[in-house]
Amino acid sequence: MQYIKHSFKYFLLFMICYLMSGIQDAHSYTVTGPYRIKWLRVGSLRSWYASAGCEIEYGRRGNAGALGASDQTDGLAWPAQFLYQEHEVGKAFRLGTTNYTDPITGASYPHKVVGIGQRDCNTLTYWMPYEFKLIGKAPSPLVLVDNAIASDNALNDEVDEFDPNLVCDRMIINKLHSSVGVDMVRKIYAFTNQNHDNYFIHEYVFTNTGIRDLQGTQVDQTLNGVFFQWQYRLGFADEANRDGSSGDGTGWALTGSSWGLNTINDAFGQDPNVQLPYFSDMAFHVRGTVSWYGPHSQAPSWADDVGAPDHTSGRALGATAYAGIVTLHADKSPQDHSDNPLQPTGTRYLGSDRDGQGLEQTVAALMTQQYEFMAEGHPAQTQAEQIGNGFADQWGGDAGGYSSSQAYGPYTLAPGDSIKIVFAEGVCGINRRKMIEIVTKWFNNDAPFVMPDGSTTNDRNEYKNAWVWSGKDSLYQTYKRAIENYQSGMTIPQPPPAPEQFVVESGGDKISLSWAGNAESAPNFDGYEVYRAIGSATTFYDKIFSCNKSNSVTSFDDKTARRGIDYYYYVVSKDNGSTNTVKPGVPLVSSKYYTMTNTPARLLRPAASKLDEIRVVPNPYNINARYIQFREDAPDRLAFFGLPPMCTIKIFTERGDLIETIEHTNGSGDETWESVTSSKQIVVSGLYIAYFEVSEDYRDPATNELLFKKGDHAFRKFVIVR
């Protein structure tokens, strides 16, 4: 049994309350004190951040659940529009110092460490938040589908204040005191420019204020041998773990692969005299980390587990992304704020279930162990080098796999001294359309295969692996862009603003879209583009409309929609491409995530004028044709067409058992049913009877003729073959 203990002390703040069970490893997860979260979700990288100053495992909702259904891998989602793309399992942050005498208790310690995470945090007496807010450049647009709010941002983009001069599109600011008298000011920057929306820039300023609690108790002292260490536990098979292909919600992932058992961690830039070849053209000395999915030792021998391919059906590569951090700046000292290319000084690999776990700032042995991990420096070989062609799940002996860590220091902090550390965390890899193409050809062994360099091979694993490995170059490109952005003072070109309002209205023969024209006054504005997804909001979108400044309009009618199908949309503003410094000539566009709808629009015909028009489609329903009836996105759907505007639909078995009741209230002639009973069971093969009863009188708006009287009714029989 797993659990999270909670305390409610101090301020009347929103608290996390959760009960955990079914966790794979035997550890408790503890949140003590006030704890809040904010989302950064305006680009292709999406993640949540905590007021505690670091994001612990299960820290958002505390949902352990069963294997394949928990929130253990929860954060750093990329690409964000698709399901199960999370890569963050948990983080930790620790500040360590030497020869520390607690000025409150008088106790002395050879090493004092105050931390957050990986599994625990204490916001009452360890790191204590006193400010936590999200600042935005502009509000999220109002997005409506059939007069109802239809955007994820309406719930999750909780902006506390707006600043039109903000250098980014969203910024979290988080301020905390600590029990050792060092304040943390954390700023996290997110961007919507499509060349820069898959990383966040983190800026930390640590100041020796002497303030040790939320009451403002101040005791000044100099801190020696100070290290700042971040630990990242990453997992790369969330989709493979949770797609449900096995029938029990566990997908095709192998044991431990989703929580990082076989994650491989690498580091570069430890030697300031050696530049990674990929960055050889840069004057800035690049140092960072990169982590990815390592092939699992238990994968089928024919499949080759690079990229976690779905060896059951070939639907997806479950782990093609690469993730990590790149250092953008680290002060040389409190007196010299220039960048020190020797930082970070430590890149140890920490056992995710073992090394330095726990928050005990009075247990000398644990704090000494944690401090020694910070001060250990760089290993002679990175974990990736030590694993080589082996399997990460067999390396090192920790059942939870291994986390990367970055330690900056040692510093001496006298009262009033500050240290600034800046890094970017990013995720990238091959794009999803390419991934589907690769895994389909791989699964079908459809040779010859075209490699990333244009050559060909008949070896399907060589082909798949080369494309997966090319994702590392994509992450390095992300690092380059983050460095250039930071060095420019975060003055990258801005796309035109998103339309302030986006309205989608279902109709009888079209779906009508309209949007605000506020972007038209932006420099270099050059029109709009509309994209549509079919069946789900978490799938591919295709462009269905575009206009330029010369023929700019703010509305579009989708007349190609089909009856009974769900449609999702977004609209973006675009410029003329003159400001794109990464891909000259390619227009910069506003973030699609601002206007992406999360509620379906459907082609709804007007209500019928008589009960004789009611029909069931398809009839019969045949499971063998399920993917061509209402598409694969709604394989169990039946539709009732030709309905009165308001009626109750009751569905009975041939024996007369009532299995579902549907209230049709939208005034149209259409309603759908997903072949599910009121007890949430998929129906079996058989003959069924639908009973339709008019629920209120209805008159023709033009003639006032009574078309339907309350209580009028009709029956229809239909067959389901499963």
Q: 555-558 and 511-515: which strand pairing? A: antiparallel
CB 392 within 8 A of CB 293: no
Structure tokens of 268? Answer: 């570069």
Tokens representing 351 are 């056992």
**Please, what sign has the CA dihedral across residues 444, 446, 451, 452?**
negative
Q: Do domains 501-595 and 611-721 have the same CATH topology?
A: yes
Distance CA 45, CA 123 (A): 27
Q: Per-residue DSSP letters for 119-166?
A: SEEETTTTEEEEEEEEEESSPPPEEEETTEE--THHHH---SEE-TT-
What angle separates helix 432-444 from helix 460-487, to the nearest 10 degrees?
170
Mean pLDDT by 10 residues, the chain (722 residues): 31 31 46 94 97 95 67 92 95 98 93 95 96 98 94 93 97 98 98 98 98 96 98 93 57 76 96 94 97 92 90 92 98 98 97 90 95 97 96 92 97 98 98 96 97 97 97 98 98 97 91 97 97 96 98 96 93 97 97 97 90 94 80 82 95 96 90 92 95 94 92 96 90
Give yes or no for a contact between 93 and 209, defined as CB atoms under 8 angstroms apart.
Answer: no
- 66: which strand partners? none
pLDDT at 289: 98
Give the number of other Cβ atoms within 10 Å of residue 341's Cβ.
16
Residue 593: predicted pLDDT: 97
Topology of 501-595 in CATH? Immunoglobulin-like (2.60.40)
At 426 the three-state DSSP class reads strand
H or E stretch including 444? helix 432-444
Superfamily of domain 611-721: Macroglobulin (MG2) domain (2.60.40.1930)
Six token digits for residue 204: 């930390």
Place of tokens 């891998």: 73
Listed in order, strand segments (DSSP E) in 17-126 are 30-32, 37-40, 47-50, 88-101, 108-117, 120-122
Beta pairing class for 713-721 and 621-622: parallel
The pLDDT, as a whole number, for residue 277 is 93
Supply the pLDDT for residue 28. Answer: 56
For the record, the structure tokens of 532 come out as 């549509």
pLDDT of residue 579: 94
DSSP code string of 459-500: -HHHHHHHHHHHHHHHHHHHHHHHHHHHHTTS-PPPPPPPPS
The first and second tokens of residue 445, run together, are 């062994």
pLDDT attached to residue 665: 87
pLDDT at 632: 67
Is-contact 695 594, C-beta < 8 A? no
Could you state, in order of their start, the residue ranges of all structural domains in the chain? 39-138+173-428, 501-595, 611-721
What's residue 69's pLDDT?
A: 59
DSSP letters, 68-89, are TTSSSS-S-BSSTTSTT---EE
